[in-house]
Structure 1
């Protein structure tokens, strides 16, 4: 990746070992133990925290700018939604708590570099031919593209006191129930860890997940992943509302990323919510929703609009002329999607959505495997996603055209505060 905004790269913390003596370089490893030792260290990601020498930041461009990595909250939640997604859920294979902590520190160091538009370690070329490069290289020359990396911890991480986390599982990190109509694929559900990579360039997002998986080789394994495009929700209400694969505008009433009061009320975990280590974090629900595209495409326009409760052109609620006018719910059919998902129908339940469209080829019968990869952040899953989905699953007329086929829930820790902080520190220390 090309050089960009250095906000997340701290002076001195990422200098090469050869230059600073603050670590072990691949060249030193080769000198001490031969090529075999160096190859093993590179495969384990041991050099992930090392910044390539002579990497000087360049002024960010409009679309290539870097999103600050450090902060009270993780980036990628209230951040203006980027156009592309690569989401991955991981199973933790190591049984060693210290090894897992070491991996989380290495991941943090790599994320700090990649979100700044910098290559990992000594880069993708120019090193010793006897050792694999520290960076796979497919993002070299590309800008940061507003890359954000957001990590979450699944229920399995706390099961059976695997890593000394007995009693640390947040009470709101509940196992999601089987909702009516669900047809969940276990191979597309669950996970001990997740990483959400969002960027304006798909290659930048894919590169980020690839690098983290490479660094974690032998300690974690990808359980499932999902590529997404064409954001279907926006945290910037002043922008054009995006459309989903059914052609309708989606996310009109989403929480704004600048609405601090709404974020504090509905998204960020508070100090009195029962899990101090998660204060400043959030909860994430991920759902892979398959759309029956061929059936939908043969549905009359009026029926489509009645199903959503909005017109297809402007996106205005039933009986209104402008998209952002307050909807009159009783003017909609009782089973209209907008009516059933609205906070007024769900005792005020409100979530922040960051959904993406997906197309994954065909299903073998000539039908598109396409739909919505739904991502929702909230302060408490029990008061956010669950009551809304219960209502939708039972009554939504849209259910004839969609099916939930993948599901996962994660506790999302607070942000990385500075160069000495790391993902999950509040949980493990």
Structure 2
């Protein structure tokens, strides 16, 4: 286990961030589906781990993802949870700066003991790595049991998502007490982060499920091009950008005393944080690949070449609904904020390909990630999508929700506002 020294962490977080970049923030999501594009960070980019909000939300979306959900040991105590969050904070604050997981690292420990760091990121730069930590509903209460004395502080909005029409969810890809989202512009750097953080959790928590992703399916910076999903369409054209502070305050960050943060001040610990919704969406690529171009465009409601709405204009032209040019069951019509009482999400999803399934078809799709200050935002949009023409070509097979605590000051640790 890595002991967290407040003084040591303060020194690291305050002074060791070499080559830091300012995290850009960037329009609102048009529903779950969305691919890759320009706008790469320099390999040496290192985003600060500390700040008012956790990195990895408004940070310009990196090219690669390794996401992991964890379950705590049945023997874990409150002290174990606190210690784990402290250890993760210390290790992540080093990893995001391109350092080994500890000062001893991969090479400087005793030869008779395993190295602190697994070493596969030796000689690799920070590559824009961010590590974001989330807390699941079952951390607060499981089967009616207040596991760690924090059930009364669970936000009312932090509850398992309701079932949706057409869900084919598997527990293999759902839920979790804790989560780690590692994003980087080098896949080995992202894998290295999750591998070492999971190793640190040994004896206290274990990986419940994990997912690797490539080819971002949204943008959070104006410098990034709108990416394409595995269906070949631009999506997420109107995703929230990291510089749009008014939209972030309205749709992403939990406000102190907000109704979505629970009764009274019981959940004010989440102020400045957010809620993360993850959905693993299998894309039935073979049937889609046999579908005519005109039908594909009708399904999405957009032109495949430039991403413009079928009502005309360019990619960034606002869709015009009600004149018959955009099908009322198209994805853009059903998911657009104007048809969902303004419901808007910040999306950070990724494509995935997990080999082939037993039928010899690509096991591929979208690992959808969205940040909101009220999970009902996602629920509203997902219910609207129950009649989506796209449903013929996708299946939702995994689902989870997490509360993402606010960022930290030097010397602090993620989750301190909850447990302190």
Range of TM-score over shorter length:
0.7 to 0.9
Match for 2:56 among 76, 93, 105? Answer: 76
Distance 1:375 1:312 in 2: 23
In the alignment, the residues of structure 2 paired with residue 158 and residue 112 of structure 1 have an alpha-carbon distance, to the nearest angstrom, of 25
CA distance in 1: counterparts of 2:18 and 2:332, whole angstroms:
45
| CA positional deviation for 1:48 | 9.9
Which among 149, 156, 168 is matched to residue 131 of structure 2?
A: 149
* Cross-structure match for 2:338: 344
Secondary structure in structure 2 of the residue aligned to 1:358: strand
- Correspondence list, 1:249-260, <5 A: 249-260=234-245
Cα displacement string for residues 56-106 of structure 1 (whole angstroms, at most 9, x for unaligned residues): 876568332100111010000011100000000000114311111111101
Distance 1:131 1:404 in 2: 44
Q: TM-score, normalised by structure 2?
A: 0.88
CA distance in 1, matches of 2:119, 2:394: 38
Map of 1:198-209 to 2, 5 A cutoff? 198-209=183-194
Q: Is the 1:47–1:134 Cα contact (8 Å) retained in structure 2? A: no
In 2, distance between residues paired with 1:58 and 1:334?
Answer: 51
Report what 2:250 is aligned to: 265
Asked if structure 2 preserves the Cα contact closer than 8 Å seen for 1:48 and 1:215, the reply is no
The answer on whether the counterparts of 2:136 and 2:177 sit within 8 Å (CA) in structure 1 is yes
**Do the aligned partners of 2:134 and 2:180 also contact (CA within 8 Å) in 1?**
yes
SS of the residue corresponding to residue 197 of structure 2 reads helix
Q: What TM-score, normalized to structure 1?
A: 0.86
Q: In 1, are the aligned partners of 2:351 and 2:365 still within 8 Å (CA)?
A: yes
Question: For 1:104-123, what aligned pairs fall within 5 Å after superposition?
Answer: 104-121=85-102, 122-123=104-105
Residues 48, 193 of structure 1: alpha-carbon distance in 2 compared, 3 angstrom cutoff: farther
Aligned-partner SS, 1:329: coil
- Equivalent in the alignment of 1:40: none
Verify: 1:239 aligned to 2:239, yes or no.
Answer: no
Q: C-alpha separation between the residues in 2 aligned to 1:79 and 1:59?
A: 15
Confirm or deny: 8 A CA contact 2:19 2:46 kept in the other structure.
no
- Does structure 1 conserve the Cα–Cα contact (< 8 Å) formed by 2:351 and 2:364? yes
1:315 to 272, 297, 307: 307
**1:407 and 2:396 matched:** no
Counterpart selection for 1:358 from 334, 352, 359: 352
Superposed, 1:16-415 pairs within 5 Å as 44-46=1-3, 59=19, 62-93=42-73, 94-121=75-102, 122-159=104-141, 160-273=145-258, 274=261, 275-330=267-322, 331-382=325-376, 384-392=377-385, 394-415=386-407
Counterpart CA distance in 2 for 1:66 and 1:398 is: 38
* 1:45–1:216 contact (8 Å) kept in structure 2: no
Structure 1 unaligned spans of 5+: 1-43
Q: CA deviation at 1:258?
A: 0.5
Distance 2:346 2:19 in 1: 31
* Alpha-carbon RMSD: 1.9
Q: CA-to-partner distance for each residue in 1:360-392, whole Å, 9 max, x for gaps?
A: 00111101000000001001001x100000010
Greater shift, 121-130 or 111-120, is seen at 121-130
Aligned length: 382
Partner of 1:30: none
- Note closer, same or farther for the CA distance 1:317–1:48 as it changes in structure 2 (3 Å cut): farther
Determine the structure 2 residue equivalent to 1:22: none
How far apart are residue 46 of structure 1 and its match?
4.5
Assess, with a 3 A threshold, how the Cα gap between structure 1 residues 165 and 47 changes in structure 2: closer, same or farther. Answer: closer
Higher RCO (C-alpha 8 Å, min separation 6): 2
Look up the SS of the partner of 1:223 in the other structure.
strand
Give the conservation status (yes or no) of the 8 Å contact 1:48–1:107.
no
| Structure 1 position 424 matched with structure 2 position 415 | yes
Contact 1:48 1:110 in 2 (8 A): no
Residue 5 of structure 1 aligns with which residue? none
- Give the number of the structure whose alpha-carbon radius of gyration is greater: 1
2: CA distance, partners of 1:175 / 1:240: 34
- Offset, 1:126: 3.4
Equivalence for 2:24 = none
Residue deviations 1:89-148 (CA, integer Å, cap 9, x gap): 000114311111111101100000000111122111132110110100000111101100
Pairs within 5 Å for 1:4-15: none
